[in-house]
Amino acid sequence: MTNLDTLAARVDDAARHAEAIAQLTAGAAFSLDEAYVIQRASIERRIHRGEAMVGVKLGFTSRAKMVQMGVDSLIWGWLTDTMLDEDGGRIALDRFIHPRVEPEVCFLTRRDIDRPLTLLEAARYLEAVAPAMEIIDSRYRDFRFTLEDVVADNCSSAGLTIGPWTTRFDGLRNAGVVMRLNGRVIQTGSTAAILGDPLRSVVQASRLIAASGLVLPAGSLIMAGAATAAEALPADAHVHCTVHGLGSTEFTTYRPS
């Protein structure tokens, strides 16, 4: 087992057992390219256990987040079937370490994406779009990490809910977003925060996938990135997100006794 495989096992075990670990970079320096090798190796461990790949997620899709992290490019990670939670369902918090939730937009592909797309082409590769929420859960103590750490940790991917699908892609550029916790508004924003237009996330995803020599098959999900800041996710919470023109998605949380 290589050093990168050892790091992949460490971050995968942390996610699997919901146990926080020290930053990987605290004990082993590695490059961003190597961080993606660690990420892929950790996902391969999930697949070996029987999980199935269902799509990709993008991170740092807002300019403010890029500036905050001192980067000039997006990051991306993988989604598996065990991350999918039922819209309107109950989510047990013992799966997570210190979960946060953020409102997003999710796309469903209709064709294989095997090359970089233009913005004009993007919609032709899509079957539908839906309101969504992503649960992020850094496996690192105190939610502290470097860019390389978060990429190795599959960009903090932990869970997601997806609302009703629609084939209407018009109006996505600046749709209002409201997220509520137990009926109280905790975040408001616009889909314009997602690269100025969520469809640009599809373009960026196509470039990242093609650069990696991979293909995103038809029927895959693309989580476009957060429309607002993430919020801490407590137990006994009802979380509801509305994206104007798309609809809403919701879930409740509980902590098993």
- Rounded to an integer, what distance in angstroms lies between the CA atom of residue 104 and that of residue 29? 32
Structure tokens belonging to residue 46 = 């999930």
Q: Are 173 and 191 in contact (CB under 8 A)?
A: yes
Domains plus CATH for the chain? Answer: 3-254 (3.90.850.10)
Residue 152 neighbours by CB under 8 Å, 6+ apart: 7, 8, 11, 24, 30, 35, 38, 39, 42
What does the angle CA 65 – CA 209 – CA 206 come to, to the nearest 5 degrees?
A: 75
DSSP state of 5: H
- Rounded to an integer, what distance in angstroms lies between the CA atom of residue 241 and that of residue 113? 29
What is the rounded average pLDDT of the residues 58-79? 81
Residue located via tokens 């050892």: 6
How many CA atoms does the CB half-sphere of 61 hold within 13 Å? Answer: 34
Specify the pTM.
0.96
Q: Is 70 exceeded by the pLDDT of residue 24? A: yes
Q: Are 56 and 223 in contact (CB under 8 A)?
A: yes
- Using pLDDT thresholds of 50, 70 and 90, give the confidence band for residue 144: confident
Instruction: Say what percent of the chain tops pLDDT 90.
Output: 89
pLDDT at 19: 97
- Using pLDDT thresholds of 50, 70 and 90, give the confidence band for residue 111: very high
- Rounded to an integer, what distance in angstroms lies between the CA atom of residue 239 and that of residue 237? 6
Q: Are 161 and 202 in contact (CB under 8 A)?
A: no
Mean pLDDT score across all residues of the chain? 95
29 vs 73, which has greater pLDDT? 29
pLDDT by residue (tens digit) across 159-202? 999 999 999 998 999 999 999 999 999 999 999 999 999 999 99
pLDDT at 156: 95
What is the rounded average pLDDT of the residues 47-70? 86
- Using pLDDT thresholds of 50, 70 and 90, give the confidence band for residue 69: low
Q: Where are the alpha helices (DSSP H) in the chain?
A: 3-17, 32-48, 63-69, 119-122, 147-152, 199-211
- Using pLDDT thresholds of 50, 70 and 90, give the confidence band for residue 149: very high
What is the rounded average pLDDT of the residues 105-123? 97
- Classified as helix, coil or strand, 201 is helix
- Using pLDDT thresholds of 50, 70 and 90, give the confidence band for residue 70: low
